[in-house]
């Protein structure tokens, strides 16, 4: 099942897109440089399997960097 994309707002009003997967101690993955797009990354079967493995024993948090992907 595809994780639900949510948004957090920064103090200066920028919306940062993120999703979570799994349960337990959180593990936040930084976006790759120079860009990211959490929705497109999830659609890649190899990437999805990697995220699912990471989330087996923890709560995975993946977010788009400021100004890339779904962040704006």
Whether 32 has a pLDDT exceeding 90, the answer reads no
CA 6 – CA 49 distance, rounded (Å): 21
Confidence band for 66, pLDDT divided at 50, 70 and 90: confident
Q: Does 29 reside within a domain?
A: yes
Q: Does 68 reside within a domain?
A: no
Q: Does 42 reside within a domain?
A: yes
Work out how many domains the chain is built from and give that number.
Answer: 1
Longest dimension (CA), the chain: 35
CA 16 – CA 7 distance, rounded (Å): 5
Note down the domain range covering 54.
6-63
CA distances from 65 to 1, 2, 35, 51 (A): 23, 20, 7, 17
Q: Does 69 reside within a domain?
A: no
pTM confidence score: 0.86
């Amino acid at each position: 099942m595809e994780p639900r994309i949510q948004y957090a707002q920064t103090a200066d009003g920028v919306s940062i897109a993120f999703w979570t997967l799994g349960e337990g101690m959180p593990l936040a993955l930084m976006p790759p440089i120079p860009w990211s797009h959490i929705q497109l990354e999830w659609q890649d079967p190899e990437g999805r399997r990697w995220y699912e493995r990471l989330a087996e024993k923890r709560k995975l948090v993946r977010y788009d960097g400021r100004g890339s992907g779904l962040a704006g």
